[in-house]
Structure 1
Amino acid sequence: MGTIFILEDEDSIRELLEVLFNMEGYKVISSSNIREFNKMNIDLNVDLYLLDIRLPDGSGIDICNDLKKNTETSQIPVLMMSAHAKTLQLQNCCQHDGFISKPFDIDDIIATVSGLIGKM
């Protein structure tokens, strides 16, 4: 079905998303911080990035901007998620392809990911 890279610092949320998307047939790669993300993201075939905004060592917004500026990753959908930010606040910050507010509805996040990966 596709590969999802999850960047989420909260272990319980990251683990829930890993199980959820594995059950849906996706391959999941995950990281809890930007440093680890940058080490792991080299040469990975990813179909969607799911990025938390607030991370212990930086911002998912910066990662989104980096991904969208890179010609190798610019066409890969980026789904942002946060308990603090609102979608309107993100419009001028990065060129994300979608936004999920925490706490999220499981059916909504599955449908959003499926829709974004299906557009590729």
Structure 2
Amino acid sequence: MKSIYIVEDETGIRDALQLLLSFENYDVRSFSSVEMFNSRDKSVNPDIFILDVKLPDGLGTDICNEIKNDPQTATIPVMIISAHAKAENVINSCDADVFISKPFDIDDVLVKIENLTK
């Protein structure tokens, strides 16, 4: 079973993604803050990270850079989801594999996740 880590502070979006992705047979773990994400078990890595940009205690783009600069996680795809950030700003500030703007089409998200985790 493929696993997904979601860092999203909005409960509704986090819960909806967790539920929908669980129905698609993904093992989903979600975090509502940078601090919670950073205190995760780092001995296990997911097949993909999904990050919101604006978090209560930091930026998803910073997490993205940490993931991409760490040899343990550098090859794991990162999807950035944001209502605020413009795609080109995000692309310039971190090396995310795909950017999705909110509100998003869940079918589009699922296709992109499937493509990134092949």
**TM-score category, normalised to shorter length:** over 0.9
Give runs of aligned pairs for residues 1-120 of structure 1, distance below 5 A.
1-118=1-118
The residue type paired with residue 79 of structure 2 is L
The residue type paired with residue 65 of structure 1 is N
| CA distance in structure 1 between the aligned counterparts of 2:22 and 2:45, rounded to whole angstroms | 16
| CA distance in structure 1 between the aligned counterparts of 2:111 and 2:22, rounded to whole angstroms | 15
User: What RMSD, in angstroms, separates the aligned Cα atoms of the two structures?
Assistant: 0.8
| CA distance in structure 2 between the aligned counterparts of 1:90 and 1:67, rounded to whole angstroms | 15
| CA distance in structure 2 between the aligned counterparts of 1:45 and 1:39, rounded to whole angstroms | 13
| CA distance in structure 2 between the aligned counterparts of 1:112 and 1:6, rounded to whole angstroms | 15
Q: TM-score with structure 2 length normalisation? A: 0.97
| CA distance in structure 2 between the aligned counterparts of 1:109 and 1:86, rounded to whole angstroms | 17
The residue type paired with residue 107 of structure 1 is D
| CA distance in structure 2 between the aligned counterparts of 1:43 and 1:79, rounded to whole angstroms | 21
The residue type paired with residue 13 of structure 1 is I
Cα distance per residue 1:58-87 (max 9 Å; x no partner):
000000000000000000000001001121
Identity of aligned residues (%): 46
**When the two structures are aligned, how many residues end up with a matched partner?**
118
Return 5+ residue gaps in structure 2 as ranges: none
Q: Following superposition, which runs of at least 4 residues in structure 1 exceed 6 angstroms of deviation?
A: none
Return 5+ residue gaps in structure 1 as ranges: none
**What displacement does 1:41 show?**
4.4
| CA distance in structure 2 between the aligned counterparts of 1:35 and 1:89, rounded to whole angstroms | 24
Q: TM-score with structure 1 length normalisation? A: 0.95
